[in-house]
Amino acid sequence: MADWKTRLAVSYTEGATTTEISPIDSFTPSFTMNAEVLHSLERTHMGIIYSPESISFSMTVKAIGDVAAQLTALAIQRKRFNLTLQEKVGDDWSFAKVLLTDCVITSATPTSATVSGAPSATFSGVSLAASSEDNQNVVSKLPAASNA
């Protein structure tokens, strides 16, 4: 079993400007590929009915510096942007990068200020497309290319 010695970085790109999101506590992309089994009166398990994919994300950042304010501004202005998760230091991660494109923040929730510790903000949103690239440079994309 390998030791984890890698640090990941999350950045956002709006227009031609890329900004690293730091400090960041967590980043969770979610890819939902809904499918249900097709049944009929005369036979079961005839096939699969696929629903459109759904891509969402959630991240929690410390409200230190200006990144939390920048993300809040993107949310308020309803601006689209791209999110990239990639290795910053090390090479233990399974992926070269995960890219979410045409993202929109749908929820921005700052925490209350407390006596100790830095306040943080949680941002949730959706993405219109995504891709992942593994360490062998194999790229997978959502939505997948149509066969039509």
**Residues sharing a CB contact under 8 Å with residue 22, sequence separation 6 or more, in sequence order:** 9, 61, 65, 67
Domain of residue 117, residue span: 7-142
Q: What is the pLDDT of residue 91?
A: 84
Tell me the pTM: 0.85
Assigned domain for 2 exists: no
What are the φ/ψ torsions at residue 43 (nearest 5 degrees)?
-160, 145
Q: How many domains does the chain have?
A: 1
Which parts of the chain register pLDDT below 70? Answer: 1-2, 145-148
Q: In this structure, is residue 69 part of a structural domain?
A: yes
Q: Is residue 78 domain-resident?
A: yes
Residue 59 CB neighbours (<10 A): 22
Tell me whether residue 36 is in a domain.
Answer: yes
Answer for the pair 75, 91: CB distance below 8 angstroms, yes or no: no
State the pLDDT at residue 65: 87
CATH of the domain at 49: 2.30.110.20
Angle at CA 92, nearest 5°, toward 5 and 54?
120
Residue 1 maps to a domain: no
pLDDT tens digits for 20-34? 999 999 999 999 989
